[in-house]
Amino acid sequence: MALTTKKPGSYLRKPGPYTEILLTLKDLNIMFPSEPMSNHLATAVADYKDMWGIPNKALLEAVKKYKAERELCRVPEREIDKIIEEGKNIANLFKTGIGDEDLEADSYQEPTY
């Protein structure tokens, strides 16, 4: 007979803070696969002077808050890549004259009130 550490009915209980921290970090890894876990943790606990001794509940709240902030400001990876490429070609943007029509005096119209 094998010994088990799970108590009968434990699958019905809400996970504890430790498990929730790990699940939240797993979600962040899925959402932002190119970022290492250390970045997520360091940013989440940036408000604390010393990470040692942070209770699990406080760490959970910090990680959840960080995840919520990242979800609000989330930009798809392809959009970020597009912005980076446009930034690399910014000199060409000015050479082509894109947007010059807005600056020409002939195209200026007086606003009507």
Tell me which residues of the chain have a pLDDT lower than 70.
Answer: 1-12, 75, 93-111, 113
| pLDDT for the residue numbered 89 | 80
| pLDDT for the residue numbered 50 | 82
The SS3 assignment for 109 reads coil
- Measured CA to CA in angstroms, residue 98 lies from 81, 91, 94, 95, 101 at distances of 21, 11, 7, 8, 8
| pLDDT for the residue numbered 103 | 52
| pLDDT for the residue numbered 95 | 67
| pLDDT for the residue numbered 44 | 92
- The structure's pTM equals 0.55
